[in-house]
Chains A and B, each alone.
Chain A
Amino acid sequence: MSEAEVHILVVDDERAIRRFLHTSLSAHGYTVQEVSTGEEALAQVTRARPDIMILDLGLPDIDGVDVVRRLREWTQLPIIILSVREHEQDKIMALDAGADDYLTKPFGVGELMARLRVALRRVSQSGDEPVIVVQDLTVDLGQRTVNMAGQPVQLTPTEYDLLRLLALHRGKVLTHTHLLQQVRGAGYENDLHLLRVNISNLRRKIEPEPARPRYIMTEPGVGYRFLAE
């Protein structure tokens, strides 16, 4: 879809933030609607059917996390959280409730635009690409093979599953709990040791410089994110 048609719903009770978002987003060709409370946001989503939502957590009436939960009961509308809450627990709660991404205030517009693009692309893509190519890395989902700069990379089944999950959700933060649940199943959600070791091994195999990762980024205390573009 072209950007001119994209409707963004901004939910924030701070007028200064709404004003700044309106200006910056309009300048990038988005159509912006603003509301300042959770109830208005829920009503506006039903009425105006925006394409994406930018949501503050600290709303005067209902908490942003609850807004996400209530929306997720019926819609897959992309939701990006903007909040001053920098605690990892808040981020994890919002992400586990179904939010697509999380930005901590203050943030740069460049960062916000990148996150918007990732979230919008995820909605538009069909989701059944058999081969994912990111820079030098190729993940062939059909063949279950991974190539790095043309060279085949040998991965353990757990490493491959992690890479597949992360690559399928490029640009999106996947929480520790989510990754462990998907890769090892229920009961292993808290086995952070296992996750750390596997990510570390995975990086050693696919990252040219494991201490300066290009493909798999760590979101401290929250989870991991695969390179967006």
Chain B
Amino acid sequence: MVRMLPSKMAWRRYGQSVILVVIATLLGQPIRVLINPTNLVMLYLLVVVISAVWLGRGPAVLSAFLGVLAFDVFFVPPRFMLGVADTQYLLTFAGLLLVGLVISALAAHASVQAHAARQREQQAIAGYELSRDLAAASEVSELLHVIMSHTARLFACDVAVCGMESGHVTWQAATPQFTADQNLAALVTQVWQSGKTTRAGVESNIAAGVNILPLQAGEKMLGVLVVKRRATDASLNSEQQRLLASFASQSALALERAQLARTAREAEILQAKEELQTTLLNSISHDLRTPLSSITGALSSLLDETAALTEATRRDLLENAWDEAARLNQLVSNLLDMTRLEAGAITVHRDPGDVQDLIGVVLARLGSRLGARPVSLDIPHDLPLVPMDFVLMVQVMVNLLDNALKYSGEGQPIAIRACTTGAHLRIAVADQGIGIPEDDREQVFAKFYRVPRADGQTGTGLGLSICKGIVEAHGGRIAVQRSDQEETVVTVDLPLTVSGDERNEA
């Protein structure tokens, strides 16, 4: 296949075609006496074909002419003279020359075709690579980087992407060597407004090798692509300009997609946020005010000098205020935890944890709230240590026990059981209280969800959703069931081993 070789190599190709003609002539000498000289024309045609295919059009034409000449001089009588004895050889010369020239033309055409095909292939690959990388990027910043790097590499140029904000050009991203001036900004503004590509030749005051393209999806202008060839005199040919235009339209579509996705995401977040705020405000204002009212009430009674309070009453009021303050504190902690879980600010630091120790800490923490409540423990001594964030798991268990206490009667027993089930450690908290209707058993883990009840128990509906968040961050599961013994059982399953990619960074 013919390459578009640099001119330095051209004389060599012509030389090679001459050598081929010489070889053909030498080869023809021994067989000249055996066959009719006319048949030796085939040798020269072969030379022309070889030259056309491997050396290019020019050398092929040269070999055709030289072939005719050599044939005349060396084979056609009288030999070693330009003239011919038999005029029919003139026809042979004409045939040889004509066939040689046609072959040269055909070979050259094929070579141009091949070159064009290769260029199309390269462009198709470039386009494919661009669209592949654009598809992989989701953020606008990533897209800009993809657009710039591909364009810069393919066209050997400096690239910038800019937008317009309140009449001013904003340079959103540019390759390191890119420089801009007032003139360029004016041209960018013009492209932004007109939506038409501009370059040297189209516009008078534009440097050679600079192309400014709109990044436009439908009617919407998403930005302007500025391309500056590094060699200032190197304008893009029409093929490259077409490719650049297709780059620009692909880029524009990708940018539009990213912007739409971002807008949708923002809208979604905003809506969720608004919903959350409404629920939060409704729930929180009630739940914060209840203990606060009790505390304020108790304190105002104590401050009231006109009230005749017995020592027992004073004590009662104070204890009530103390309990309510503790509840308020728990509520604030839950709210903070929820916020942290939501914001992804809670990281699980797993260390080997002792389940018995965990339960011990939880029981100590609940302290007076447990009162005289019978709590039975079934925790085998030979349980393995389990990878867990001890502090977060304390919180989970406190919340679970708090619920068990809240939703079961004064004297009703609570059971805490632990065992291993396959690859998990299971901790179960069982109470014999009112239970959770079957339809609500999934929903109790949703944020702010509370089973509608008439008994006036208060809470934010945050406890279980925090538990779920923490347990799932451990790669575990939490579920609520009704056992055969009429118990409400909340089970927490934690994996006994942590897979490599989940291990703590620490």
Contact = CB atoms under 8 A, between A and B. Distances in A.
A220 B394 contact: yes
Given A200-B354, A211-B356, A212-B360, A193 B385 contact: yes
A185 interface: no
Interface residues of B, number: 22
A75 to B, nearest CB: 32
B141 interface: no
Mostly helix, strand, loop or mixed at chain B's interface?
helix
A58 B385 CA distance: 36
B391 interface: yes
Nearest to B333: A86
Interface of B: 322, 325, 329, 333, 351-354, 356-357, 359-361, 363-364, 377, 379, 381, 385, 390-391, 394
A86 B377 CA distance: 29
Contacts of B354: 196, 199-200
Contacts, number: 48
B360 A192 contact: no
A210 B356 contact: yes
Mostly helix, strand, loop or mixed at chain A's interface?
mixed
A133 to B, nearest CB: 23
Contacts of A86: 333
A217 B356 contact: no
Interface in A82-115: 86, 88, 106, 108
Interface string A11-28: 000000000000000000
B391 A196 contact: no
A217 B364 contact: yes
A29 interface: no
A218 B352 contact: no
A218 B329 contact: no
A220 B390 contact: yes
Contacts of A196: 352-354, 357, 385
A106 B391 CA distance: 18
Contacts of A203: 356-357
A197 interface: yes
16 contacts: A192-B352, A196-B354, A197-B385, A199-B357, A210-B356, A210-B360, A210-B381, A211-B356, A211-B363, A211-B379, A212-B364, A217-B364, A218-B357, A218-B360, A218-B361, A221-B391
Interface in A187-229: 192-193, 196-197, 199-200, 203-204, 210-213, 217-218, 220-221
Interface string A105-134: 010100000000000000000000000000
A28 B356 CA distance: 38
B349 to A, nearest CB: 8
A225 B329 CA distance: 24
A21 B385 CA distance: 42
Given A196-B385, A211-B356, A217-B364, 9 more contacts: A88-B391, A196-B352, A196-B354, A197-B385, A204-B381, A211-B360, A212-B364, A218-B360, A221-B390
Nearest to B379: A211
A197 B361 CA distance: 16
Contacts of A221: 390-391
The 5 closest A-B pairs by CB, nearest first: A221-B391, A193-B352, A192-B351, A220-B391, A218-B361
A149 B359 CA distance: 25
A220 B381 CA distance: 20
A106 B357 contact: no
A106 B322 CA distance: 11
A108 B364 CA distance: 16
B32 to A, nearest CB: 96
Contacts of A210: 356, 360, 381
Contacts of B333: 86
Interface string A171-194: 000000000000000000000110
Nearest to A221: B391
Nearest to A89: B349
B325 A106 contact: yes
Contacts of A199: 354, 357
Nearest to A197: B385
A157 B353 CA distance: 22
A202 B312 CA distance: 44
Contacts of A213: 360, 364
A122 B2 CA distance: 95
B473 to A, nearest CB: 15
Nearest to B395: A220
A66 B359 CA distance: 35
Contact of B377 (A88, A192, A211): A211
Nearest to A219: B361
Q: Count chain A CB atoms within 10 A of each CB in B322, B329, B357 and give the residue with the most.
A: B357
Contacts of B352: 192-193, 196
Nearest to B355: A211
Nearest to B383: A200
A64 to B, nearest CB: 20
B387 to A, nearest CB: 10
A11 B353 CA distance: 36
Contacts of A217: 364
Contacts of B394: 220
A156 B329 CA distance: 42
A192 B357 CA distance: 13
Contacts of A204: 381
A180 to B, nearest CB: 12
Contacts of B390: 220-221
Nearest to B328: A106
Nearest to B375: A212
Nearest to A201: B381
A68 to B, nearest CB: 22
Nearest to A108: B322
A193 B351 CA distance: 8
A212 B363 contact: yes
A163 to B, nearest CB: 16
A187 B487 CA distance: 48
Nearest to B325: A106
